[in-house]
C-alpha cells in the first residue's frame, strides 16, 4: 500500500504504508513530477497518474516504480482524473475537454468538447457506461461513454466544482460552494441538500448512503444521504483539509486526509459505532503544501478501493468503452523542453526518499 500525494512544490510524494496492529508509514520516494503545482491524482491497480497546472498528465508504473510517460492532449490546468477499472482513464481540464484514454497502449480514444468553460469535476458510473461532468458554464452533463457523446444537459444556477457517483450508482451528488445536492439516478431530481458553514474542498462516499465531507476548516463531517443529518464530526487537522480519500480493507473502512498543515492522516471508521470519533491509525508530516491525495493498493494484498467495488465486479463490461472508434496517438513529448523523446524506451526510475536528496545538497555545499 502506498500513500501518494501531490503538492504545490511540483513534487509527487510516496509513502509505503504497512497495515497491522500498529500501522506504519515510511517515506518511499519523491519525484519532481511537473513544472507547476499538482492539481489531481488518480490510481488503479497498476498506475498512478498526476495532473498539473503545467497542462500535462504524468504516468507512473507503481509495480516497477518507474516513470511511464506523459500525456499532452490538454491545453490548460488538468482539473480531474479518474480511472475506470484497469483499461480506461478519463481526464478533464480548463480547456473544456474530457479525454478518454486506453491505458493498455495509452491512446486517446476520444476527445470531447464537454463544457464551454473549464471542466471542474467528473465521475464515472460504476457500470462504465455513463459519466457525469460539471463545469464553469453552469451545466451538469451526462455522457454516454459507449458512443462517446452527450446524453443529457442540466442547467445549474451556479457553477458546481465537485460531482460524485455513489458506489452502487443509484445516486450522485454535486457540490456548489458549501452546498451538497443529492440526486437519484432514476428521477434525476434532488432528493436532499446538505449545507455546511465553510466551502467544501473534498467529498467521498464511505458507503452507498454515508458521505465524508471536508471543507475549508479542520473538521471532517459524516452525513447520511437519506436524512441529510450529520452522523459524526471530528477535528482531523490543525489547518484546512485539502483532500479526502477512502478505501476498504478486510471489512475495515479507512479514511485518508491531507491538510494544508502538511500532515497526511489515516483514520479507522467503525460503521457500527458511527457516532464515535474514528481512531487515528497513523500520520506523517510531509512538510509540503499538499493539494491532492490517493492510495495505491496492490491487488495481490487483497485490498480494494471502496469507490471501485462495482467497477471491478463488472470487469466484463469494461470492453464496451473501446467501441469509440476515433483513436488518436499520444504525443510522447516533454512539453517543457520541446524535445521529443521516447519515454517508454528510456523509463526513468522514481527518485529516492527526500532525505537522500537533502544529503546530496549538503555534501555539494
Distance CA 321, CA 129 (A): 7
Low-confidence stretches of the chain (pLDDT beneath 50): 301-348, 351-361, 364-365
Cβ–Cβ contacts within 10 Å for residue 239, how many?
Answer: 13
Per-residue model confidence (pLDDT) at position 310:
47
Burial-class residue 196 by CB neighbours within 10 Å (0-12, 13-18, 19+): buried
Per-residue model confidence (pLDDT) at position 350:
57
Nearest one of 183, 274, 185 to 234, comparing CA atoms: 274
In sequence order, what DSSP letters do the residues of 80-138 get, joined into one string? EEEEETTTEEEEEETTSEEEEEETTTTEEEEEEE--SS-EEEEEE-TTSSEEEEEETTS
Per-residue model confidence (pLDDT) at position 299:
63
Note whether residue 323 is domain-resident: no
Distance CA 179, CA 182 (A): 10
Distance CA 73, CA 53 (A): 13
Per-residue model confidence (pLDDT) at position 63:
87
Per-residue model confidence (pLDDT) at position 321:
44
**Average pLDDT in the chain:** 83
Which of the 8 DSSP states describes residue 21?
S
Per-residue model confidence (pLDDT) at position 64:
86
C-alpha cell of residue 67: 516513470
Note whether residue 178 is domain-resident: yes
The per-residue pLDDT for range 132-173, each reduced to its tens digit, is 999 999 999 999 988 888 889 999 999 999 999 999 999 999
Note whether residue 175 is domain-resident: yes
Per-residue model confidence (pLDDT) at position 294:
96
Residue ranges making up the domain that contains 145 = 114-195
The per-residue pLDDT for range 48-77, each reduced to its tens digit, is 999 999 999 999 999 888 888 899 989 999
Note whether residue 185 is domain-resident: yes
Angle at 262 between CA 175 and CA 278, to 5 degrees: 65
Domain tally, the chain: 1
Q: Identify the three-state secondary structure at position 322.
A: helix
Q: What's the CATH code of the domain at 171? A: 2.110.10.10
Per-residue model confidence (pLDDT) at position 251:
79
Distance CA 220, CA 218 (A): 7
Per-residue model confidence (pLDDT) at position 188:
84
Note whether residue 240 is domain-resident: no
Per-residue model confidence (pLDDT) at position 262:
93
- In the chain, count H helices and then E strands: 2, 28
Amino acid at each position: 500500500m502506498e500513500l501518494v500525494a501531490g503538492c504545490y512544490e511540483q513534487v509527487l510524494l510516496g509513502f509505503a504504508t504497512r497495515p497491522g496492529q500498529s500501522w506504519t508509514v515510511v517515506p518511499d520516494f519523491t519525484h519532481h513530477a511537473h513544472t507547476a503545482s499538482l492539481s489531481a491524482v488518480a490510481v488503479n491497480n497498476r498506475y498512478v497518474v498526476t495532473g498539473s497546472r503545467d497542462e500535462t498528465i504524468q504516468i507512473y508504473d507503481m509495480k516497477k516504480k518507474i516513470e511511464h510517460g506523459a500525456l499532452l492532449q490538454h491545453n490548460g490546468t488538468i482539473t480531474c482524473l479518474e480511472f475506470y477499472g484497469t483499461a480506461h482513464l478519463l481526464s478533464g481540464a480548463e480547456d473544456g475537454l474530457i479525454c478518454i484514454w486506453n491505458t493498455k497502449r495509452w491512446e486517446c480514444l476520444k476527445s470531447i468538447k464537454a463544457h464551454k468553460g473549464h471542466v471542474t469535476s467528473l465521475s464515472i458510473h460504476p457500470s462504465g457506461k455513463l459519466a457525469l461532468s460539471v463545469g464553469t458554464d453552469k451545466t451538469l452533463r451526462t455522457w454516454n461513454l459507449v458512443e462517446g457523446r452527450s446524453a443529457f444537459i442540466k442547467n445549474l444556477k451556479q457553477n458546481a466544482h465537485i460531482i460524485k457517483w455513489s458506489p452502487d450508482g443509484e445516486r450522485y451528488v454535486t457540490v456548489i460552494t458549501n452546498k451538497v445536492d443529492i440526486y437519484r439516478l432514476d428521477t434525476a431530481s434532488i432528493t436532499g441538500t446538505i449545507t455546511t458553514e465553510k466551502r467544501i474542498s473534498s467529498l467521498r462516499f464511505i458507503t452507498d448512503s454515508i458521505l465524508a465531507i471536508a471543507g475549508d476548516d479542520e473538521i471532517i463531517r459524516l452525513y447520511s444521504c437519506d436524512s441529510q443529518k450529520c452522523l459524526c464530526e471530528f477535528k482531523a487537522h490543525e489547518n484546512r483539509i485539502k483532500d479526502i480519500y477512502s478505501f476498504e480493507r478486510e471489512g475495515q473502512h479507512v479514511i485518508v486526509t491531507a491538510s494544508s498543515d502538511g500532515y497526511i492522516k489515516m483514520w479507522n471508521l467503525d460503521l457500527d459505532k458511527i457516532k464515535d470519533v474514528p481512531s487515528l491509525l497513523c500520520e506523517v508530516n510531509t512538510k509540503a503544501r499538499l493539494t491532492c491525495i490517493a492510495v495505491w493498493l496492490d491487488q495481490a494484498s487483497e485490498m480494494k478501493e471502496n469507490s471501485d467495488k462495482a467497477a471491478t465486479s463488472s470487469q466484463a463490461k469494461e470492453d464496451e468503452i473501446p467501441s469509440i472508434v476515433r483513436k488518436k496517438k499520444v504525443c510522447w513529448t516533454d512539453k517543457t523542453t520541446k524535445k521529443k523523446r521516447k519515454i517508454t524506451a528510456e523509463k526513468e526510475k522514481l527518485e529516492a526518499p527526500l532525505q537522500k536528496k537533502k544529503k546530496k545538497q549538503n555534501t555539494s555545499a
